[in-house]
Amino acid sequence: MEYEAVIGLEVHVQVKTHSKMFCGCKNEFGAPPNTHTCPVCLGMPGVLPTPNLEAVKKTVLTGLMLGCEINRICKFDRKSYFYPDMPKNYQISQYDQPLCLDGGVVLGKYAFPKDAQKDPIASAKKNVRLIRIHLEEDVAKSFHFETTSGIDFNRAGTPLMEIVTQADIASPEEAFAFLSTLQQTLSQARISDADMEKGQLRCDCNISVRPKGQLEFGTKCEIKNMNSISGVRRAVAYEITRQIQTISNGGKISQETRRWDDAAGQTYLMRTKEQAHDYRYFPDPDLMPMRTDLGLVESMKQQMPETPSMREERYMRDYALNDYDASVLSSDIDLSHYFEGVLNAAQGDRQKVAKAIANFIINDLLGLLGGADQTLADCKIMPEHFGGLVSCVDAGKISSKQAKEVFVEMFATGKEPSTIIQEKGMVQISDEGALESFAKQAIEANPKSVDDYRAGKMAALNALKGQAIKLSKGKANPQLIGEVLEKLLNA
């Protein structure tokens, strides 16, 4: 029997703020344990929490960027349960009036893992719908030792956004694409650094399988403890196979929480969900409700940055870049800024120049950076110099082959292109008289190619062109030398 998977995600994202959600303690990762605490985040009796406006703004901004409806009236609720990482024995969260509702994330082709980009589903521009986004406080971090556990309250009370999807995801690859798109969107808008390895973005996956075509959902399992986006892909793939095998062998899936062990490549049972939790949500009497229609939504709309997918579309529309180039250049905000900086500095036809810059960045620069173990911030090539180089090629001063050589030199030394061109004596020859002399030499030296050309083999012209350029030591303007050759041959 053929089965299909039904997957929904709950994503927790740490919101980037200076201070915690309800008190002024510093919101910082990696400080010595329990150095960022106060009576509010330690859950002492009689304290008064006050919400951090910046965290609320960033949640609204996330909602706007993901096409959510922003709730007009929102409130905070208490979610009661006992756990050592939560000192008040309730977590301040949002229950029935979260900040954002609905919305969605469109999965672009290049958000999929590389090996899955050829699959038709990667080009389907599937929309994964969101149910809600709410704001809550994070819990403390626990460490587990041989016989004891240790608690660090530095993380307790820091702002945390929870993004819940509909069960719209059908494969491990779609889960990967969803998370990488979300990660890019949030980090580019500086809402969160969203690094899974640092726990800034955490994801629980609800997975079930059912015979293909069946309407009713199968019993779901919740998978926790993935610490990379590719780890999520592996965990989801493993869990789908496990569930299908269990059912095919006549077994039953029980509703349970499972932990992913990335090293072992397996999920393990954590706990079964025999009874539903009774969280006794009720409005937090310490916190006044929020109205988003008193200027909050309007001001956030004005501050809304371009999302990676909006930028991708703009690159395709304004500069006629292909979808691959546009997606690579918009995948990283620093790279986008760099690209646009170079483009502003370059002279010549916008579309032509944009394509040349895209080629240099994608085919040369990214490889050079990787090889040198550098990031864009370390890059010695100033956007102005890069733009200058592209202008030189566009104006026919040097060939694109020469430009590649100059580019490598610019990467290594940070020198201006004009200096390198001079040092290397790399001036492209566009003078017709000089070109004619190279063309004549090429024709005399290659009678066979000349015959082939006259017999109608157009490829022979390229061979002659290559010879002529070689004779010029690579300095002949390739387009002009072609024209000169044709003129001589057809004379």
Partner 1 sequence: MDVSYVAHLARLALSQDEITRFQSQLSGVLEHVGQMQKLDVEGIEPTAHASPVYNVFREDVELPSLPVEDALKNAPQQANNLIIMPKIVE
Residues that bind partner 1 (CB under 8 A): 17-19, 23-26, 32-39, 42, 50-56, 73, 75, 80, 82-84, 142-145, 147-153, 259, 270-271, 278, 280, 283, 285, 287-291, 294, 296
| Min dist. Cβ of residue 78 to partner 1 (A) | 11
Measure the CA dihedral 59/330/298/166, to 10°.
-50
The token duo for 420 is 């390198």
* Rounded to 5°, angle at Cα 452 from 450 and 455: 110
Q: Is 240 helix (H, G, I), strand (E, B) or coil?
A: helix
Residue among 303 and 351 whose Cβ is closer to partner 1: 303
d(CA 290, CA 296): 10
The token duo for 480 is 């002009």
| Min dist. Cβ of residue 65 to partner 1 (A) | 20
| Chain CA centroid to CA 290, Å | 32
| Min dist. Cβ of residue 113 to partner 1 (A) | 30
Neighbours of 370 (CB within 10 A): 10
| Min dist. Cβ of residue 260 to partner 1 (A) | 13
Residue among 12 and 440 whose Cβ is closer to partner 1: 12
Neighbours of 228 (CB within 10 A): 14
Residue among 37 and 267 whose Cβ is closer to partner 1: 37
Residue among 50 and 375 whose Cβ is closer to partner 1: 50
Output the DSSP codes for 305-341: PPPHHHHHHHHHHHH---HHHHHHHHSSHHHHHHHHH
Residue among 51 and 104 whose Cβ is closer to partner 1: 51
Residue among 38 and 366 whose Cβ is closer to partner 1: 38
| Min dist. Cβ of residue 261 to partner 1 (A) | 13
| Min dist. Cβ of residue 419 to partner 1 (A) | 47
Residue among 15 and 420 whose Cβ is closer to partner 1: 15
Cα separation values, 489 from 4, 152, 161, 447, 455, Å? 65, 82, 71, 11, 12
| Min dist. Cβ of residue 137 to partner 1 (A) | 14
